[in-house]
Amino acid sequence: MTDKPQTAEPAWVASLSGLHDQVWQRLVRGVADRRAPARHPTLATVGLDGGAEARTVVLRAVDRSAGTLEIHTDALSGKVAELQRQPRAALHVWDSRVRLQMRLRVTVAFLDTANRWQRIPPASRLAYGGEPAPGAPLRSPHDYRETTDPERFLVLCCTLQELDVLHLGGGGHRRARFDRVDDFIGVWLAP
């Protein structure tokens, strides 16, 4: 990326722990604030044809101590079939205000959703259901019926394996990687 930065460097880019903290602050804000960039990460998966796929998802929960992130989906959506075959996926957030790119390599597991359905607001339940299933061809956009189906509500638990962070600074770019196997201590990388 070569577009020019607009602002001076914030203090948190100077240290690995500062960068790491900043990422988790942004992720936590994404759960709480629907206008925050981390509210809508891009989830990349390996498609059934072997190529890459990407789509926007909504970040529903994060747990820094466990290093996990939660996404909700319709069980019949294409990404579920893709993740069943290849659970290694990526979550991507680009926060233009702080010029910070967060690349999270994750492994995705499907959580037991018992007792969770009751906590989903009624209006949101329409995201889990519908006929025909997501991605099915329609003769007209009106040939689709909204339904809700608790059986199609699925929670994706994304366990962070590796975090690649890039800050585009005025005095130069900073990049670092944080690995689960090294307890997320972090190492600087060439940008």
With beta carbons less than 8 A apart as the criterion, state whether 105 and 164 touch.
Answer: yes
Distance CA 66, CA 150 (A): 27
Q: State the minimum distance, in angstroms, from the CB of residue 84 to a copy of itself.
A: 14
Judged by CB under 8 A, which stretch of 25-33, 34-42, 110-118, 150-158 contacts a copy of itself?
Answer: 34-42
- Judged by beta carbon, residue 51 or residue 119, the one nearer a copy of itself is 51
- Beta carbons of 38 and 95 less than 8 angstroms apart: yes
Q: How far is the CB of 166 from a copy of itself (least distance, A)?
A: 8
Alpha-carbon span 135 to 184, nearest angstrom: 38
The residues, ordered by sequence, that sit 6+ positions from 21 with a Cβ below 8 Å of its Cβ are 12
The CA distance from 144 to 134, in Å, is 10
Type of residue at 59: L
Q: Which of 23, 27, 38, 57 binds a copy of itself (CB under 8 A)?
A: 57
Selected range binding a copy of itself among 22-30, 109-117, 152-160, 181-189, rule: CB under 8 A: 181-189
On whether the CB atoms of residues 106 and 62 are closer than 8 A, the answer is no
Count of residues binding a copy of itself (CB under 8 A)?
Answer: 62
Q: Which two tokens stand for residue 167?
A: 């800050």
Residue 118 in contact with a copy of itself, rule: CB under 8 A: no
74 alpha carbon, distance to own chain's centre:
16
Query: Does 22 sit near a copy of itself (CB under 8 A)?
Result: no
Task: Say what the alpha-carbon torsion angle 36, 109, 166, 41 is, to the nearest 10 degrees.
Answer: -30
Nearest to 37 by CA among 95, 91, 100, 92: 95
* C-beta neighbour count of 26 within 10 angstroms: 19
| Contact residue for a copy of itself among 21, 146, 151, 182 (CB under 8 A) | 146
CB closer to a copy of itself out of 65 and 108: 108
127 binds a copy of itself (CB under 8 A): yes
Q: Does 2 bind a copy of itself (CB under 8 A)?
A: yes
> In the bound complex, what is the minimum distance in angstroms from residue 63's beta carbon to a copy of itself?
21
Q: Would you count residue 40 as binding a copy of itself (CB under 8 A)?
A: yes
Residues forming contacts to a copy of itself in the complex (CB under 8 A) are: 1-4, 34, 39-40, 42, 44-47, 49-58, 72, 86, 88-92, 94, 96, 101, 103, 105, 123-124, 126-127, 130-141, 143-144, 146, 172, 174-175, 177, 187-191
